[in-house]
């Protein structure tokens, strides 16, 4: 129902860079009033959780795509930098707007609360909507009204809520305000790396923006989620959706994904349920963060505060560069560097290696992933790091330590993944591709591998590292 007022309304985009199933945008459009769309580059602060360098690359392209889509609907995107409350008040003052539409962003609830107080004091009303997750975290509660700390009961409770709300379509066109507020140029934000341009390969793998997200979703549906459940553990296959960077920037809504998968063939029901359970993990991570806003910086389980982490700069550098001497770890870290993405099983292996084999604090790994992952997500990244470290809610126990050789042999049995990202090992036979340091000299020579020269020797002995980690953990318990 259109409101009679002709004053413009403001839509503030954050991690919801889409027109489709965007409840804030849709509701603003439904007022029948002119709509001013704005994206604000806020000053870095721990409360807001700044984007990493890889995500800056994504953001640049995503904002361009969003602006083009808005322009095609007779609207535009205003880019501004500064503290959000100040920018929004300025836009309201110069445009005459007195109403703001925004989607909830659960990772920044405290800072949003302060912004809301400032805006209300300035006479700007706010309408906030859910849509970042499948379900509003406040709706998934235990019998006693608390939040879930274990995933399976969380999933069961989510099932009882039924399907997420029906997605709303993108508005066809907007009423433009008399004049659009001044916008900064995207180029002036310098989001793209230049010297060196380490992101030059990203566009081979990704198309930031809503259209790219829909393409990925369609590919998933066309493949009928075939082999998702089994294949998602095998990094050499291409069984997962690769929707994570799009979800992290809100270019597609989880509800849209959920409803789109309703058409998956009945014989792939197991794959479908498993896929939805993964999507629900994302909700679970946000639920943990809502419950424990310090999740990014503090151990969920305070027992881990006493753990004596080691920190060796050379070890950490070798890990970031994919030069640890353990092929599956190195393949993962190099995939990350070259594509801005890493397959889930390999994320677990590389994270476990950092935390348990190198005994380096999970927060350092979390920060590296945040800077290099295109899908870096404030809740999913940290909750998963804490899960691997054992310090998180419903976490993998600390004493369960991945053996990088066995993990490689089990989940990359023909070494396809390692050969792709660590080409210097390409010619090693399967038997040694996950443990070149055990290969006889003549096998290495035939494959053109010279340990310590063409490929590093292991930076730690896994057996010894495992004992060291268990010792540290034992001390923790006592
Ligand atoms: P699919 O298998 O197709 O899953 C569909 C969607 O479900 C994903 O796009 C993602 O949004 C969600 N999802 C799947 N697995 C998980 C999970 N374990 N936790 C939370 N959500 C999940 N995921 C991120 O989106 N951002 C991160 O910053 C992130 N950091 C991680 C760090 C570590 C140490 C680990 C072990 C995992 C991390 N994950 C993160 C989870 C997972 O690895 C990725 O979501 C997944 O690999 C993305 O690929 P996909 O889109 O093809 O996933």
Q: Where are the domains of the chain?
A: 9-131, 133-165+210-291, 302-477
Tokens at 248, concatenated: 């992290």
58 catalytic, yes or no?
A: no
Q: With a 6 A CB cut-off, is 384 part of the ligand 1 pocket?
A: yes
The verdict on whether 309 is a catalytic residue reads yes
CA of 279 from ligand 1 middle (Å) equals: 8
| Contacts of residue 238, Cβ cutoff 8 Å, sequence gap at least 6 | 231
Task: Kindly report the number of other CB atoms within 10 A of residue 452's CB atom.
Answer: 9
Structure tokens at 6: 């002709």
CB of residue 241 inside a 6 A radius of ligand 1: yes
Checking DSSP bridges between strand 35-41 and strand 77-81, what pairing results, if any?
parallel
- Among 206, 362, 368, 387, which one carries the catalytic annotation? 362
In whole angstroms, give the CA distance from residue 478 to residue 475.
5
What is the per-residue pLDDT across 306-317, written as a single tens digit (0 to 9) for each?
999 998 999 999
Phi, psi of 278 (to 5 degrees): -70, -45
Q: What is the pLDDT of residue 49?
A: 67
User: Minimal CA–CA distance to 44: which of 90, 83, 78?
Assistant: 83
CATH superfamily name and code, 9-131: HUPs (3.40.50.620)
Please determine, looking at this structure, whether the domain spanning 133-165+210-291 carries the CATH number 3.40.50.300: no
Q: How far is the CA of 65 from the centre of ligand 1 (A)?
A: 24
- pLDDT value of residue 477: 65
Q: What is the pLDDT of residue 4?
A: 58
198 is catalytic: no
Atom 33 (ligand 1) nearest CA: 384
What's the predicted TM-score (pTM) here? 0.97
Ligand 1: residue of 241, 282, 340 to mutate (most ligand atoms within 8 A of CB) is 282
The reported pLDDT for the residue numbered 266 is: 86
CA separation, residue 133 to residues 105, 110, 356 (Å): 9, 18, 32
DSSP 123-191: T-EEEEE--SSSS-GGG---TTS----SHHHHHHHHHHT-SPPPPPPPPS--PPPSSPPP---SGGG--
pLDDT profile of the chain (478 residues), mean per 10: 76 98 98 97 79 95 98 97 97 97 95 96 97 95 92 96 96 93 96 91 96 97 92 94 98 98 91 97 96 93 92 96 98 97 98 97 97 97 96 87 97 98 98 98 98 98 96 79
| Sheet with 9-13, edge to edge strand ranges | 77-81, 35-41, 9-13, 99-103, 125-129
Indicate which residue's Cα is closest to atom 6 of ligand 1.
Answer: 279
The CATH number assigned to the domain with range 302-477 reads 1.10.579.10
Task: Verify whether ligand 1 is closer than 6 Å to residue 380 (CB atom).
Answer: yes
Does residue 316's CB lie within 6 angstroms of at least one atom of ligand 1?
A: no
- Write out the two tokens for 123: 């006479």
Whether residue 450 lies in the annotated active site: no
Question: What pLDDT digit, counting tens, does each position of 347-379 carry?
Answer: 999 999 999 999 999 999 999 999 999 999 999
């Amino acid at each position: 129902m259109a409101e009679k007022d002709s004053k413009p309304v403001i839509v503030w985009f954050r991690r919801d860079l889409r027109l489709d199933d965007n409840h804030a945008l849709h509701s603003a459009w439904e007022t029948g009033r002119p709509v001013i769309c704005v994206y604000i580059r806020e000053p870095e602060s721990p409360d807001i959780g700044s984007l990493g360098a890889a995500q800056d690359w994504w953001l640049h392209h995503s904002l361009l795509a969003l602006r083009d889509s808005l322009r095609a609907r007779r609207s535009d995107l205003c880019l501004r930098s500064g503290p959000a409350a100040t920018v929004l008040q300025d836009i309201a003052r110069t445009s005459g707007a007195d109403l703001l539409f925004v989607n909830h962003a659960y990772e920044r609830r405290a800072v949003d609360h302060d912004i809301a107080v400032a805006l209300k004091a300035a006479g700007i009303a706010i309408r906030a909507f859910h849509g970042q997750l499948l379900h509003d975290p406040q709706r998934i509660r235990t019998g006693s009204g608390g939040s879930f700390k274990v995933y399976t009961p969380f999933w069961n409770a989510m099932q009882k809520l039924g399907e997420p709300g029906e997605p709303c379509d993108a508005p066809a066109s907007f009423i433009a305000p008399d004049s659009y507020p001044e916008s900064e140029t995207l180029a002036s934000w310098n989001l793209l790396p230049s010297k060196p341009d380490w992101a030059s390969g990203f566009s081979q793998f990704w198309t930031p923006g809503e259209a790219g997200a829909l393409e990925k979703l369609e590919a998933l549906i066309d493949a009928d989620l075939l082999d998702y459940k089994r294949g998602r553990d095998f990094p050499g296959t291409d069984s997962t959706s690769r929707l994570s960077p799009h979800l992290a920037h809100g270019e597609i809504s989880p509800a849209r994904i959920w409803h789109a998968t309703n058409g998956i063939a009945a014989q792939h029901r197991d794959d479908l349920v498993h896929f939805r359970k993964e999507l629900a993990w994302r909700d679970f991570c946000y639920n943990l963060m809502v419950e424990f806003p310090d999740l990014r910086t503090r151990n969920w389980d305070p027992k881990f505060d006493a753990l004596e982490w080691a920190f060796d700069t050379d070890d950490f550098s070798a890990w970031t560069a994919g030069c640890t001497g353990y092929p599956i770890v190195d393949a993962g870290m190099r995939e990350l560097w070259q594509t801005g993405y890493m397959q889930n099983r390999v994320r677990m292996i590389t994270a476990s290696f950092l935390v348990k084999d190198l005994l380096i604090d999970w927060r350092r790994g979390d920060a590296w992933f945040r800077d290099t992952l295109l899908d870096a997500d404030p809740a999913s990244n940290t909750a998963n790091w804490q899960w691997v470290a054992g310090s998180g809610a419903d976490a993998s126990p600390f004493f369960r330590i991945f053996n990088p050789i066995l993990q490689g042999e089990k989940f990359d049995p023909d070494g396809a993944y390692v050969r792709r990202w660590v080409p210097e090992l390409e010619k090693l036979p399967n038997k040694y591709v996950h443990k070149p340091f055990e290969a006889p000299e003549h096998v290495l020579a035939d494959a053109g591998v010279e340990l310590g020269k063409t490929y590093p020797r292991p930076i730690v002995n896994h057996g010894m590292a495992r004992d060291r980690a268990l010792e540290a953990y034992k001390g923790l318990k006592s």
